Amino acid sequence: MDLSSPYLGFNLKNPFVAGASPLADNLDSVRRLEDAGAAAIVMRSLFVEQIIHQQTGYSAYVESVEESYAEATTYFPEVEDFALGPDQYLAHIQKVKQAVDVPVIASINGSETGDWFQYARMMEEAGADALELNLYFLGADPEISGSAMEDRLIKVVAGIRDRTRIPVAVKLSPYYSSLAHFARSLDALRVNGLVLFNRFYQPDIDIENLEVTPTLKLSSSEELLLRLRWIAILYGKVDADLALSGGVHGAMDAVKGTMAGASCIQVVSALLREGPDTLKRYITELQHWLEEFEYESLEEMRGNMSHMRSGDAEAIERTNYMKIIQSWKTS
């Protein structure tokens, strides 16, 4: 049974990839992921804002109180190897690379142009086999139009793409006015993959204390459908490989994703909830299903349920929509 999948130039031994998560922080769990069958490992995202925040915080809280009083011109020892940049992340890439044989995909999260683009090259030099760029943003500024926002993000992707030779995948959110057009714009920048979709951690409201509280909920199967739909739409419209991320909670989800056109099935929440060995079960179940339905490889089914192979996308979408609406009315 051939489970291999082409993704970012790698011939993955199966479509399951451990998506960006804290699981990659620990070398033991990284090894367990590989042992469980993960075809590649995406590292936890390096948040550009966080680095900048740390750096400016250091300046604000440590340096601003220096040189004010004769007895204490400083308050901390000068540590030479003290690094507020991405050094630790880079060092961790090296360790993860040494720990496993599967491709290691570094991940970086940023949506503003800036000097952090150089991190891409640094990650490459640290040994990352590929890079996943997470374009996480919230279009909350009423002064910035959708197209202006997209232009900015395209510049970010271009900036990263220009600075590294390793494959680059871009992780997207579903909130674009014309996602297909935007995806194609990215395609034109020679990105190697599109990861659909990242998840917004939505804040809750504390009604007693009048506070906004951050929440983190693991994904559920319901989230899969949106991903399937957009992979199905984009398959064949872009050269980039497509990765499904979010809502995968079983081998059948992988089958659906592959049929929609995905080359890579990223799993995170299930691994966090049930542990790395979950992947073993998924792979076995996938094999059994393929055997049962007499598929010899994933390639046979890849994209067979995409819109490209099912006619006019918009018309299908519209038809599906009407069907659903009507079904609600009649139920």
Buried b (16+ CB within 10 A) or exposed e, 193-211: bbbbbbbeeeeeeeeeeee
Contact call for residue 225 and other proteins (CB under 8 A): no
**Is residue 57 at the binding interface for other proteins, with CB under 8 A as the rule?**
yes
Which of 40/106 has CB closer to other proteins?
Answer: 106
| Residues 290, 293, 296, 301, CA torsion sign | negative
* Integer angstrom CA distances of residue 169 from 130, 135, 158, 232: 8, 11, 12, 18
Least distance between other proteins and beta carbon 57 (Å)? 8
Nearer to other proteins, 83 or 225 (CB): 83
Is residue 58 near other proteins by the rule CB under 8 A?
A: yes
Q: Which of 1, 11, 61, 323 binds other proteins (CB under 8 A)?
A: 61
Helix crossing, 87-99 with 27-36: angle to 10°?
40
Site string for other proteins, 298-317 (x = CB under 8 A): --------------------
Q: With H, G, I as helix, E, B as strand and everything else as coil, classify residue 169.
A: strand
Q: For residues 57 and 124, give the distance between their C-alpha atoms in angstroms, rounded to a whole number.
A: 28
Residue type, 209: N
Residue 200 binding other proteins, by CB under 8 A: no
Residue with tokens 């033991």: 28
The verdict on 326 binding other proteins (CB under 8 A) reads no
User: DSSP states of 267-278 as a string?
Assistant: E-HHHHHH-TTH
Does position 72 interact with other proteins (CB under 8 A)? The reply is: yes
Binding pattern to other proteins, positions 111-140, x when CB under 8 A?
---xxx-x----------------------
- Among 4, 13, 31, 84, interactor with other proteins by CB under 8 A: 84
- Residue 66 touches other proteins, criterion: CB under 8 A: yes
| CA atoms of 108 and 313, how far apart (whole Å) | 32
Q: How far is the CB of 325 from other proteins (least distance, A)?
A: 39
What's the min distance (Å) between Cβ of 185 and other proteins?
A: 28
Label each residue of 48-70 as H, E or C.
HHHHHHHHHHHHHHHHCCCCCEC
Binds other proteins by CB under 8 A, chosen from 9, 11, 35, 83: 83
Q: What's the closest the beta carbon of residue 158 comes to other proteins, in angstroms? A: 19
Q: Using CB under 8 A as the criterion, which residues of the chain lie in contact with other proteins when the complex forms?
A: 51-52, 54-85, 88, 114-116, 118, 209-211
